[in-house]
Amino acid sequence: MGSVFGLVALSMTAQAGTMAKREAFGTMPDGRTVDAVVLTNAHGLSARVIAYGASLQSLSAPDRDGHVADIVLGYPSLRGYLEKPQYFGATVGRYANRIANGRFVLDGKTYQVPVNDGPNSLHGGTRGFDKVLWTVGEVSHDAGKASVTLTYVSPDGDMGYPGKLSVSATYTLDDEDRLSIDYHATTDRPTIVNLSNHAYWNLAGEGSGSVMAQRLTIVADAFLPIDATSIPTGEVRKVDGTPFDFRHAKPIGRDIRTADPQLLNGRGYDHNWVISRAPASAPRMVARVEDPRSGRVLTLSSAQPGLQFYSGNFLDGTTVGTGGHVYRQGDAFALEPQLYPDTPNQPAFGSARLEPGQAYRNLIVYRFTTEPARSAR
C-alpha cells in the first residue's frame, strides 16, 4: 500500500481532474475500521489521509521532470502507527509541543497531564490526538478541489485536560497545488488548546536520504532558547549571528554541527521561531523549503505566532517506512505552526485559553511548486 497505491491512484485520476476517494486502511485491535481518503488533483498531486490520528499518510508530488515521489514519512500499514508511533503526519493535541512538568494552572486550579517526554508533557500526553481514531465525515470534490473532514470529541478530563473539546480537521487539496489543513475546536468549559500537524517532509522523496542539503527559509528574526529538557527559558533571542538565522535560504545542515549550546540541547534544531507576538488575521508565508536535487519547493503559510522547526534528530535507523527504506537521523524535517511551547506556564508568550462560545482555529497551507535546475558556475 502506501506510496505504491499513491502512484496507482495518481495514474488513474490525474487526467480526470480533482477527486476524493474513500477506502479502508486497516482495523483497530477492537475491530473498528480505519478509513483512508485519497485526495487527487489534476496536476499530479495526491494526498492520503487516514482516520487514525487524522494523519497525512502520504503526499505524492512530481519533481521538475514530472517524476512522482511520496515526500512525507509514514508507514505502509496501520500496524506501524500502532506499534511504533512517531507522530508521522499526525494531528497533535490537545496541546502541541511541550508543557513543563505536565502541569498548568487555569482559574486557580492546577491540572496535571501525562508526562511522556522526560519531565514534560509532549503533544497531549501518552494518548494524544495522534493516537485516537477520528471519525471521517464529509468527503467531497468538485472541479477545483477535493476535501475530507475528520472529527473527534475529547471528553472532559481526557488526559487530565478540562472541558469537552470538539475538534475537526479538514484536509483540502486544490488545483492551485495547495494542501490545506483547517483545524477547529470548541469547548464546554474553559480549557487550553494548541493543535498542529506533525508531517515529516523530505522533498527528494521519503527514504531517499538526508535533507541536510535542502534549503530552508524561516520568516522570523527571533527564536525561543530552550533548557536541557527542551522547555523554553522565557528568553526571546535574536537570530542574528546564530545558527538559527534562516531569514535567507540556506541548507538545513550548514550550521547544524556548530558547537552552539542550543543545538546541543535540542540534538539539532527542535525550537520555536517567533513569527509574530500574536496570531495574524490570515495565513501568511512563514517558511519555504527548496530541494536542489528534485526541484520541488514547499511554501508554508499560517496565521499562528510560532513555528516549531525540527530537523529529524531522533530518527534512529530502526524504522522502515512506506517505501521500504530505513529512516535515519536527519532524513526529514518538520515545520509545525502553533502557539509557543509551554505558553500556559509563561504568560509573556500570550494565551492558549479557549472559552465556551469561542472557536479555536489553525489553518495551515502547504503549496507545492518546482523550480528549474540552477546552472553551474
Residues with a known catalytic role: 198, 336
The residue assigned the cell 480533482 is: 18
Residues 6+ apart with CB under 8 A from 204: 69, 71, 211, 214, 291, 293, 294, 296
Q: DSSP letter at 261?
A: H
d(CA 178, CA 298): 10
CB 64 within 8 A of CB 295: yes
Which of 188, 184, 265, 231 lies closest to 349, judged by CA?
A: 231
* Phi and psi at residue 193, to the nearest 5°: -150, 145
d(CA 268, CA 46): 31
Through-space distance between the first and last CA atoms of the chain, rounded to whole angstroms: 42
Chain center to CA of 48? 14
CB 149 within 8 A of CB 138: yes
**Angle at alpha carbon of residue 22, lines to 183 and 338, rounded to 5°:** 15
How many residues are present in the chain?
377
d(CA 57, CA 87): 10
